[in-house]
Amino acid sequence: MVSTSPTDGPLRVVAWSTGTVGRHAIAGIDAHPGLELVGVWVSNPAKDGRDAGDLAGLGRELGVRATSDRDALLALEPDAIVHTAMADDRVFECLEDLFGFVEAGVNVVSSGPVLLQWPERILPPEMLDRLAEAGRRTGASLHVNGIDPGFANDVLPLSLTSLSQRIDEVRVMEIADYSTYYQPVVMRDIYGFGQPLDHRAMLWEPGILGTAWGSVVRQLAAGLGITLDEPLEEVVDRRPADRDLDTASVRIPAGSMGAVRFQVIGKVDGVPRVVLDHVTRTAEDQVPEWPTPPEGGGCYRVVITGEPVLQCDLVHHGEHGDHNVSGMIVTAQRLVNAVPAVVAAPGGLVTALDLPLVTGEGLVAS
């Protein structure tokens, strides 16, 4: 791996947040031979001044103290920021943060807002122009990715289509039991788990799914060279819990929302060609007629119908935890391992279609 740091040493990286993804990002940066952790940002005053190794649960100190001082971290002039701060409930604030980093000349890889994976037709042109101009002026790049939106529905499915003779439909799926997923804001406020079925949580408002996961559908379409009908179609099927459930994030009384399947469908001349399909349960035995993972509590699935018919299941679980733990790890690592390629990329927005092959170079255990 060739470093693009001015000193030709490890790239100097700031980890931006220490939550469910951020703590794994810190561990990933520390383990990566081409990266050096030089700073950590936290929003919680109780974390200010604590060592990064402590915040990441590594059982050892890394000699880097967390701070809530944004300017002090930018003054370090890092090569990149690995940004994993919560974005789902503060999209515009987060956009301002990310654009500001690029304007300050710092490369960024981020887990959100997910619409930045492919923001065309979502963000207004003036915002995209602002980011492009900042990239031209400073040379800094911004890449938003992870596992979903991310690798499971951009690089993986597009790579599989290279095996196709004819493609009728590309369907990318997350099939997961969220009962051990700890993110109360996402589970209660954004999804509406545990709320009455007639409650309109944020995600089910018209246009929201198309704004978030629509970026997935449009990027796949761009990779396949097709133009989709607009607007994208949104389909939502919410189901009640058949019993009281206690999850890691929220209590779900019987009769309240306990499972949901949603789809964002991209059509060409009225025919579905690219589909984002999420099956989200809060107990493994819910709604058995919906697709299930081949093993464990979750998987990412790609189904390509045509000639031939292809199906690929990406099953994951943590070495010391379940699929929701490993879901956070793979999200973090897709960002961490992309840092050298993003730093080397031309300034401005960088999508998965722009990057070279990103691998786990340097991470094989010794």
Helix (H, G, I), strand (E, B) or coil at 310: strand
pTM for this predicted structure: 0.94
- What is the residue-level pLDDT of the chain in tens, covering all 366 positions? 233 444 479 999 999 999 999 999 999 999 999 999 999 999 999 999 999 999 999 999 999 999 999 999 999 999 999 999 988 788 999 999 999 999 999 999 999 999 999 999 999 999 999 999 999 999 999 999 999 999 999 999 999 999 999 999 999 999 999 999 999 999 999 999 999 999 999 999 999 999 989 999 999 999 999 999 999 999 999 999 999 999 999 999 999 999 999 999 999 999 999 999 999 999 999 999 999 999 888 999 999 999 999 999 999 988 877 888 899 999 999 999 999 999 999 999 999 999 999 999 999 998
C-alpha 32: how far from chain center: 20
Which among 54, 7, 104 has a CA at the least distance from the CA of 347?
Answer: 104
Whether the CB-CB separation of 159 and 282 falls below 8 Å is answered with no
Q: How far apart are CA 79 and CA 342, in angstroms?
A: 10
Residues 6 or more apart in contact with residue 48 via CB below 8 angstroms:
42, 66, 67, 68
Residues 6 or more apart in contact with residue 258 via CB below 8 angstroms:
193, 239, 240, 241, 242, 245, 252, 281, 282, 283, 286
